[in-house]
Amino acid sequence: MILDPAVAEYVTGLEPEPDDLLAEMRARGDREGIPIVHHVTGGLLEVLAAATGALRAVEVGTAIGVSTLHLARGGAHVTSFEVDPERHAAASDYLRRAGLADRVDLRLQDAGEGLAELETGGFDLGFIDGPKDGYPGHLGQVVALLRPGGLLLVDNVLMSGAVATRQPTGPWSAEHIAAMREFSERLRQREDLRATFTPVGDGVALAVRQ
């Protein structure tokens, strides 16, 4: 969380209580050090998927399926990419247990390769949350998959606030910060997008395809 701790605790506490499955997934993420979306970011994904009526979503970075679960619970069918076989298998198992196996297409594949195989303009929502050094390449690919009016979401654009303060912290080095600042500058300057940046969770950029 990049907000004042009391504010962060308050807004997190306003999220619905997780069901047993989501609680189990989050606990596994914590235990095994798997980076998954903040609780409020999960809530944002779910609400935006539902509010936009997104039927088809594409995601870079499945991990164990927490963000995928939120998007699917928001009503979208989610195509998601992950390169770690254990995480991919765990996500498949959790989504099956959630009763959402038919709402997801979980691919054990490099996102750059997999995105190139999908239908241009065929998606209502894109979520980028994969390797940070892949963000620039994945941005162009995911935007190309969105229909006009489609919604792009990008996680970690503030990197615990370090992107704004330029002070390296935790896993975020000076190189990470510089790369993310350059990425966000590119994102906001794209003429085919109207982007806005929010301090939700670890910083989420939202953009609509023109």
Ligand X SMILES: C[S@@+](CC[C@H](N)C(=O)[O-])C[C@H]1O[C@@H](n2cnc3c(N)ncnc32)[C@H](O)[C@@H]1O
Q: What is the binding site for ligand X (CB under 6 A)?
A: 35-37, 60-61, 63, 66-67, 81-84, 87, 110-111, 129-131, 134
The number of beta carbons lying within 10 Å of the beta carbon of residue 73 is: 18
Residues 150-177, buried b or exposed e (16+ Cβ, 10 A)?
Answer: bbbbbbbbbbbbbbbeeeeeeebeeebb
Identity of the residue, 148 or 155, whose beta carbon is nearer to ligand X in the bound complex? 155
Please give the Cα distance from 130 to 62 (Å, whole number). Answer: 8
Identity of the residue, 28 or 147, whose beta carbon is nearer to ligand X in the bound complex? 28
Q: How far is the CB of 148 from ligand X (least distance, A)?
A: 25
Q: How far is the CB of 191 from ligand X (least distance, A)?
A: 27
Q: How far is the CB of 129 from ligand X (least distance, A)?
A: 4
Identity of the residue, 83 or 208, whose beta carbon is nearer to ligand X in the bound complex? 83
Q: How far is the CB of 4 from ligand X (least distance, A)?
A: 23
Please report, for residues 18, 146, 187, the alpha-carbon distance to residue 153 in angstroms, rounded to integers and kept in the order given: 22, 11, 11
What's the CA angle centered on 197, arms 171 and 72, to 5 degrees?
Answer: 80
Identity of the residue, 37 or 193, whose beta carbon is nearer to ligand X in the bound complex? 37
